[in-house]
Amino acid sequence: MAQQHIWQFPSHISGLAEESDNNFYFACKRGMDVILACLLLILLSPLLLLIAILIKLDSPGPVIFTQERVGSERRWLGRTSLWVIRNFRMFKFRSMYQDADPAVHEAYIRDFVEGRARPSEESDGKFKLTNDPRVTRFGRILRKFSLDELLQLVNVLIGDMSLVGPRPVPPYEVAGY
């Protein structure tokens, strides 16, 4: 295994650097992300259009919801790669009423991180906020089948996310860890 060093940078930038001998892996992974995201966006475009129309008919407000999320980016320093933490805007179909108060979810996440949250029976044993009054009627359907997440294929295409990897979380969730 390559020698590793912890790098410390001002404020929001920190990461793990290592001598990289797996450039081929990351190039293939990125290539697969781009190819699959393009294909899926093309194949799913009729469904994406239908979802957009139904969101507009269900409640006033924009079709697309964006939220700041924490991710990482691979940077190169000679032969050494460095993972840099950075924020980006994640795209989703809007499943809540416009201007919904995020305090409900932030409190739930705080309870979850501090060990006070319990999995709900409605969420099949998962730690998930259920019966949220901020969610629209059509939004419940979108969330049940995870259709609100389809626009994240755009984030994959941009390079903010990957099809395989950890789920990016909001900054307030990272602050709790």
Residues 61-112: tens digit of each pLDDT: 999 999 999 988 888 777 777 888 889 999 999 999 988 777 777 777 777 7
- Burial class of residue 111 (count of CB atoms within 10 Å of its CB; 0-12, 13-18, 19+): middle
Residue 147 has pLDDT above 90, yes or no: yes
Q: What is the mean pLDDT of residues 1-17?
A: 43
- Per-residue pLDDT tens for 34-73? 999 999 999 999 999 999 999 999 999 999 999 999 988 8
Locate 111 and state its tokens. Answer: 């309870």
Predicted TM-score (pTM) of this structure = 0.76
Query: Across all residues in the chain, what is the average pLDDT?
Result: 82
Q: Kindly state the tokens that stand for 174.
A: 């990272």
Task: Please return the burial class of 156, using the count of CB atoms within 10 Å of its CB with bins 0-12, 13-18 and 19+.
Answer: buried
- Distance between CA atoms of residues 25 and 52, nearest Å: 36
Query: Which pLDDT belongs to residue 4?
Result: 39
80: exposed, middle or buried (Cβ count in 10 Å: 0-12, 13-18, 19+): middle
Predicted local distance difference test score (pLDDT) of residue 102: 76
Query: Measured between alpha carbons, how far is 81 from 83 in angstroms, rounded to an integer?
Result: 7
Q: What is the mean pLDDT of residues 134-138?
A: 93
Please report which helix (H) or strand (E) contains residue 34, including its range: helix 23-43
